[in-house]
Amino acid sequence: MNSELGSGPARLLAVATILLSSACTYDENLPNADLFGTVVIPKELTSVRIVDIDNEEWVVEDDIRAIGPVYIGVYAGIDETLYSYPHPEWGPLLGDNEQGDAYPYGGTSSGRFAWGCYQATVCKTVSGRYESYQQVLDFFRDELRAPLLDDHGDEVTTAEQYQERCFEIEYVTSDDELDIVGPIDFRDEGDNWVADVSILRSQFKEGMHIWGFADMPSQAFGFSTCDPSTGSYHSNYDEQYYTGTNYRDVLNFPGKYISDGDLVSEVSVEVTDAEAEFELTLGYKHED
Amino acid sequence: MLRLSSFARLLLLLMMFLPGMARASVTAGTIKGTAVDTGGLPIPGVLVTVRSPNLMGVRQSETDEEGRFNFPELPPGIYELTAEKAAFSRIVRTNLQVNIGRNTILTLEMPLAEAGEEMVIEATRPVVDTETAQRGTVLTKEFLERIPAGRSYQSAAQLAAGTTGGSNANIGGAAYNENTYMLDGVNITDPVTGTFSLNFNFDAIEQIEVLTNAFDPEYGFNLGGGINIVTETGGNVLKFVINSYYTNGNWAPKQDARYAADGTQLAPTDFDSRFELFQAGVKVTGPIVRDRAWFIATYSHERSLINNVGIDLPRDYDGHYVFGKLTVQPVAAHRFTLLSQSNPTTISNTNQGDRFVSPEAQGQQTQGGFVVSGRWDWFISPELFSETIVTLQKTYLENAQVPCTHNQDLGYNPCSPDETENTVDYTTPGRFGVNNAFDRDNYPSFDFDDRWRFSVGTKFSLLQLELAGTHDVKAGFTADMTRWRRTFGYTGDMYYVDLNELSYNPDTLRNYYWVEITGPVSFLSTAENYGAFVQDAWKPVRNLTLRFGTRYDRAVLRNDVGEAIINVGLWGPRFAAVWDPWANNKTKFVGALGRFNDSGRLAVPYYLSQSGFGSKLFLGEYFRNGNATYSNGLENSYDYAPNENTNTVLDGTIAPHSDEFSVGAEREVIRDLAALLYFTGKYTQHLYAFDEINLVWDQDGYNVLGTSDGSQTDIYRLRTPAIARRDYFRTDLGLQKVWSDRWQLQGQYSYTISRGTVQTSPSGFLAVPQQTEYYVNGLLFTDVRHDIAFGGAWDIPNDPWTTQLGMLVFYESGNPVSRYYSNGSALGSSALLRDTYGTYAREEHYLEIRLKVEQEYPVRKGKLSTVAELSNILNSRQGDYAYVNYDNRWIIASRQDPLQLTLGGRYEF
């Protein structure tokens, strides 16, 4: 038998291997890069002044639950002259009085508007800011002085009650599926809050700039980047409303949404090496 | 055996690379073997003859100096073989089964003759094919007639290992649209969707081969498996068959299973759905000229009435299937076959998913088409032959409003008194309801869809070529051209949307808003697929077969303006070794590896078509008067011009393909019964996938933060990234008992792991957000860990009143369903499953048992029988799909496929 087989099978195996491996060198040549880094927010800039309908004022200090979404974009350049803070360069003006777009190569956020299962939380709760339902309840009751109320107007007092409401209306069975509670985006590093961010599949242009801002709440704890008339439509018995989401062009027209108290990066990060980690500090507090 | 001259070898080489025309197909089987004396020495010069009711004339051959004989290209069926030589006993082997693509390998032991002695061996059939490597199963006519498969070849196909899912099965972890359907060597796969395109006459089937993996290059199949149907040919005896069947699922225990998002079973709801099916058919087979020209003609009618819960009007399926085949063999060297199948069908009240659809708004779908095929088989010599097939196929789908009727009892769309019956109104604008208003779902739109296929191909076979052993060499080429013409639009190029919330009342319409549409849209998309292969089955020694070869497939898929969106080609080398260690045709060890290519389908370039609707929004009284200050910002954002498709394709796409290996063994453990054990690994990469190129997402992939081009439009890009993949591993443990001693059994247990990033290569939606955790590897829908499929048939020996029993058992552990998606618009419709969020839920496991009893009655002429078939005897609740609710979250839904009883009768004469 051996003599009949000879070296034929070995040759065939070699040919088959070569043929099988012939298409293994496929490269899509995508002009994209994943950028990784951190965003830094000085704690001293995060205090928020709240004014209720009775004009009573108080300050929420050093509380990450009062930090709105942080928007980070990658742009061709930063212009110091457009606003009182550095702002991404505009594209061509659309008309006499119309602002041109900024065109991000990529971007991401740290936190997003995540509806907190009650209408009172529309455009007021942000993902990555609460570890538990109790923290949400505590924040609304103690810091905003506006406790969450259930359908009957009674205060929601226990985390179990809150969780049950969320599970029921969101058809979920675990907290992991609700972005409102979960791991906190920011970690405490002395004088700063620091969050890891990843800008996946950004178009890579050498010399591009990473720039960003944090949407901080207004005196009524509203956020300028959130549109309460969009987002998922909540329909449950007599509850009919949108749950709110960010405006779709936040990174195209950031100047339109940056309002009093928002934190902006004074110095953008120029990217020359896609592999190098970046650190973006939001060190400027904008005041109208 | 064939020894070739130099000229013949040159001719062979030329033929291999000849750009001839024909479809590579396998529609026949082989009887081969060796004649030996009682001492095991080969006997040359033995005259071997095979005959069969399915074979025109007889085929004869003399054994060579090594005692070998070979009868290739035999139509599948039951055969008788005789072997005779002076001084030896005459051997007769009856009841031999020839299967599609399989070898029936015999060792004929011929003792020295004593006066007048004839040795007849009839009961045993070879059960292990020790020369082939492909995995799958062949379902013979006699088995199909006995098992309770609901007279559906799709149901019968579920018996093959690694086959899960519905009528368009997931084979080998592939998507439902990656199989290839062949009818008598003709590719009848839908050129757009990749699914089966013909509802076929079950009565005409001779055999079904379900190929799951490790098949030779001549099978130009896809990433999934192949359903290879071979029909009857006719015969020298004129036969008529009349049959009729009625199925009812209404009387089953009425409970409809429901499941929560985590798979927890909830209390059942009332179940008031309806299922009735009526089937009737007639078949005529016989000779035109004995042993020269045979025919088969069949007609089947199928009508079903199905209501979903809460729906008044049944989905009314009315299908007519006509099949005819003429086979002519004027001389032994040439055989011509002309085949035709058509299946005009009407489906009324197609929308069974929403009880808020008014009767006159119900849609009607007419569908069907035809396939016409001509085939020429040229038997140049017993070892050298060719086949050439030319095919033309058309399928059509037409969706529109139910035509009006003056018969008020039907409850369908009533005609106006002066309106002509059966007319469809293409001019009056339709109307939708919003916010739970009465839904006039299908009324405003129409869709006409024509699909064509023209294919030509050729295959040459050169068998028993002696060169360091023996070789069976095959080579062929296929050209397959498809086109898709689709016209769709809205009646009157406009539709109204109203807030008529409680019930539909034309007198109280509020004209919430209305939209003007450009249209109708009409486009033509085309594709050309070319495939060529060469392969060899080399037997260097008697008990070892090395099968190797390659195919090359090129696909050019064009969008509606003729742009070649996809232009890919890839080699598909395949290699297999089959070893019969004891050289007794009872055991084999198999190892195989190979590459299988996706030749694409017209749904892929559709996403880069230039055709589209333009539209303009008008706000109605609700906005103008009821809330004059209200503005949703949409009124001015509509363009009344055809939209331009801005999707793009990445340069350098390559053909999706699977690299597969399998190892296994089969052994005949007792007479006619083999046990088998196989392991299969399959790595599928570069599936077609779309991603966005201009959107910037937040960290969770929920919301868009901006666009890189300032556009409000999502721009998608077609890619074939390596990470768009599936990894599939399956272990099969099975039994295979061929039909003998009045019973047959086949089936297996399979343990499967299926992970990957994408389940379906388009036609479905498959968009992946650019900047989320894209392509997360997770369990796929085909991850059915435990899968059991067994079928058995038994003829109770109570002659002359034969009773046939058949049984099918299917068990599937539940498939996984992810409940959490990041962005509804991009991912909500894809089957991408991710395990980074939430927990997996699995659909409930499912056990189905089917039984069939057929009782024959002696009649003066012919054969009369009655049939009773019970499906889903346990009334198991089947979790069969998941859907996205309004919050873009996956909900496991379940419908019961209830206990059904079929009663029927058949008369043959």
Q: Does position B382 have pLDDT exceeding 70, yes or no?
A: yes
Q: Which of A69-83, B415-429, B516-530, B870-884 shows the lowest per-residue confidence on average (mean pLDDT)?
A: B870-884
Does residue A203 sit at the B interface (CB-CB below 8 Å)? yes
Does residue B265 sit at the A interface (CB-CB below 8 Å)? no
Residues of B in contact with A203 (CB under 8 A): 708
**B362 to B345, B430, B511: CA distances (angstroms):** 17, 12, 21
Does residue B702 sit at the A interface (CB-CB below 8 Å)? yes
**Of B550, B698, B710, which has the smallest distance from its Cβ to A19's Cβ?**
B550
Residue B758: phi and psi, rounded to 5, are -135, 140
Q: Which of B325-339, B652-666, B724-738, B820-834 shows the lowest per-residue confidence on average (mean pLDDT)?
A: B820-834
Does residue B469 sit at the A interface (CB-CB below 8 Å)? yes
What percent of the residues of chain B are helix, what percent strand, and what percent coil, each to the nearest 5? 5, 50, 40
Beta-carbon separation of A251 and B712 below 8 A: no
pLDDT, tens only, B85-98: 988 988 899 889 99
Average pLDDT, integer, range B124-150: 90
How distant is the Cα of A138 from the closest Cα of chain B, in angstroms? Answer: 25
pLDDT, tens only, B697-739: 888 777 889 998 877 777 888 888 887 888 999 999 999 998 8
Q: Compute the residue count for chain B.
A: 909
Mutation target vs B (from A3, A7, A12, A241; most B CBs, 10 A cutoff): A12
Q: Which helix (H) or strand (E) holds B203?
A: none
Residues of B in contact with A172 (CB under 8 A): 261, 819-820, 838, 889
Residues of A in contact with B707 (CB under 8 A): 103, 249, 252
Q: Which of A90-104, B37-51, B602-616 shows the lowest per-residue confidence on average (mean pLDDT)?
A: A90-104
Q: Does position B634 have pLDDT exceeding 80, yes or no?
A: no
Q: Does position B448 have pLDDT exceeding 90, yes or no?
A: yes
Average pLDDT, integer, range A149-159: 91
Residues of A in contact with B652 (CB under 8 A): 26-29
Higher pLDDT, B418 or B267: B418
Q: Does position B325 have pLDDT exceeding 80, yes or no?
A: yes
Strands B689-692 and A78-79: unpaired
Per-residue model confidence (pLDDT) at position A246: 95
pLDDT, tens only, A21-46: 444 567 787 888 889 999 999 999 99
The amino acid at B432: F
Residues of B in contact with A171 (CB under 8 A): 260-261, 819, 885, 887, 889, 891
Higher pLDDT, B307 or B614: B614
Mean pLDDT estimate for chain A: 87
Per-residue model confidence (pLDDT) at position B678: 97
**Of B546, B652, B886, which has the smallest distance from its Cβ to A233's Cβ?**
B886
Q: What is the DSSP letter of B791?
A: E
Beta-carbon separation of A202 and B771 below 8 A: yes
pLDDT band at A70 (very low <50, low <70, confident <90, very high): very high
CA–CA separation, B576 vs B132, rounded Å? 9
Does residue A267 sit at the B interface (CB-CB below 8 Å)? no
Dihedral angle, C-alpha B647, B650, B655, B657, nearest 10 °: -90
Q: Which of residues 602-641 of B touch A (CB under 8 A)?
A: 632
CA–CA separation, B810 vs B799, rounded Å? 31
Per-residue model confidence (pLDDT) at position B266: 53
pLDDT, tens only, B204-233: 999 999 999 878 999 877 899 999 999 999
Higher pLDDT, A167 or B462: B462
Beta-carbon separation of A248 and B712 below 8 A: yes
Tokens, residue B311: 């729906």
Strands B778-779 and B743-756: antiparallel
**B450 to A240, B321, B351, B723: CA distances (angstroms):** 43, 19, 22, 34
Residues of B in contact with A16 (CB under 8 A): 548, 573, 575, 593
Q: Which of B432-436, B452-456, B479-483, B686-690 shows the lowest per-residue confidence on average (mean pLDDT)?
A: B432-436
Cβ-Cβ pairs closer than 8 A, A with B, add up to 165
Q: Which of B302-316, B338-352, B619-633 has the highest mean pLDDT?
A: B338-352
**Of A16, A110, A202, which has the smallest distance from its Cβ to B699's Cβ?**
A110
Residues of A in contact with B546 (CB under 8 A): 8-9, 12
Q: Which of A27-41, A73-87, B24-38, B748-762 shows the lowest per-residue confidence on average (mean pLDDT)?
A: B748-762
- Nearest residue on chain B to A202, alpha-carbon basis: B771
Q: Does position B16 have pLDDT exceeding 80, yes or no?
A: no
Q: Which of residues 281-320 of B touch A (CB under 8 A)?
A: none
Q: Which of residues 744-763 of B touch A (CB under 8 A)?
A: none
Tokens, residue B392: 């033309």
Per-residue model confidence (pLDDT) at position B297: 97
**Of A26, A29, A252, which has the smallest distance from its Cβ to B686's Cβ?**
A26
How distant is the Cα of A139 from the closest Cα of chain B, in angstroms? Answer: 23
Q: Which of B346-355, B502-511, B625-634, B682-691 has the highest mean pLDDT?
A: B682-691
Share of chain B above pLDDT 70, in %: 80
Tokens, residue B291: 């042993």
Per-residue model confidence (pLDDT) at position B481: 95
Q: Which of B45-49, B60-64, B511-515 shows the lowest per-residue confidence on average (mean pLDDT)?
A: B511-515
Q: Which of residues 130-149 of B touch A (CB under 8 A)?
A: none
CB atoms within 10 A of CB B635: 13
CB A193 within 8 A of CB A187: yes
Per-residue model confidence (pLDDT) at position B611: 79
pLDDT, tens only, B162-219: 898 878 889 999 988 899 999 999 899 999 988 888 888 888 999 999 999 878 999 8
Mutation target vs A (from B538, B703, B712; most A CBs, 10 A cutoff): B703
pTM value is: 0.85
Per-residue model confidence (pLDDT) at position B760: 63
Does residue A16 sit at the B interface (CB-CB below 8 Å)? yes
**Of A103, A106, A229, which has the smallest distance from its Cβ to B771's Cβ?**
A106
Q: Which of residues 153-192 of A touch B (CB under 8 A)?
A: 170-174, 176-177, 179
Share of chain B above pLDDT 90, in %: 44
Does residue A197 sit at the B interface (CB-CB below 8 Å)? yes
- Give the up-direction half-sphere exposure of residue A287: CA atoms within 13 A in the CB hemisphere: 3
pLDDT, tens only, B502-552: 555 667 777 778 888 888 888 899 999 999 999 999 999 989 999 999 999
pLDDT, tens only, B90-132: 889 988 999 999 999 999 988 887 766 677 776 678 889 999 9
Does residue A201 sit at the B interface (CB-CB below 8 Å)? yes
Find the DSSP H helices in B24-171: 141-146, 153-157
Beta-carbon separation of A9 and B546 below 8 A: yes
Beta-carbon separation of B650 and A28 below 8 A: yes
Q: Using only C-alpha atoms, what is the Rg of chain B? A: 29
CB B847 within 8 A of CB B876: yes
pLDDT band at A13 (very low <50, low <70, confident <90, very high): low
CB B896 within 8 A of CB B257: yes
Q: Which of residues 99-128 of B touch A (CB under 8 A)?
A: none
3-state secondary structure of B6: helix
Per-residue model confidence (pLDDT) at position B849: 93
> Please, which residues bridge with residue B870 across strands?
B851, B901
Per-residue model confidence (pLDDT) at position B5: 52
**Of A8, A113, A248, which has the smallest distance from its Cβ to B468's Cβ?**
A8
Q: Which of A224-228, B98-102, B740-744 has the highest mean pLDDT?
A: A224-228
- The string of DSSP codes covering chain A is -HHHHTTHHHHHHHHHHHHHHTTTT------EEEEEEEEEEEGGG--EEEE-TT--EEEE-S-GGG--PEEEEEES-EESSSSSS-EEPP-S-SSSS-PPPP--SEEEEES-B---SSGGGTTT-BTTS-SSHHHHHHIIIIISS---B-TTSPBP--HHHHHHHHHHHHT-SSGGG-TTSSS-SEEEETTEEEEEEEEEEEEP-TTEEEEEEE----TTS--TTEETTSSPEEEETTEEEE--EE-TTTTTSHHHH--TT-EE-SS-EEES-TTS-EEEE--EE---
pLDDT, tens only, A87-145: 999 887 666 666 678 999 999 999 999 999 999 999 999 999 999 999 999 999 999 99
Does residue A105 sit at the B interface (CB-CB below 8 Å)? yes
pLDDT, tens only, B874-888: 877 655 444 444 333
pLDDT band at B894 (very low <50, low <70, confident <90, very high): very low
**Of B540, B652, B720, which has the smallest distance from its Cβ to A29's Cβ?**
B652
Per-residue model confidence (pLDDT) at position B412: 62
Average pLDDT, integer, range A47-60: 93
**Of A4, A26, A108, which has the smallest distance from its Cβ to B699's Cβ?**
A108
pLDDT, tens only, B238-293: 999 999 999 988 765 555 545 444 445 555 554 456 788 999 999 999 999 999 99
Mean pLDDT estimate for chain B: 82
How distant is the Cα of B309 from the closest Cα of chain A, in angstroms? Answer: 23
Does residue B719 sit at the A interface (CB-CB below 8 Å)? yes
- Nearest residue on chain A to B632, alpha-carbon basis: A229
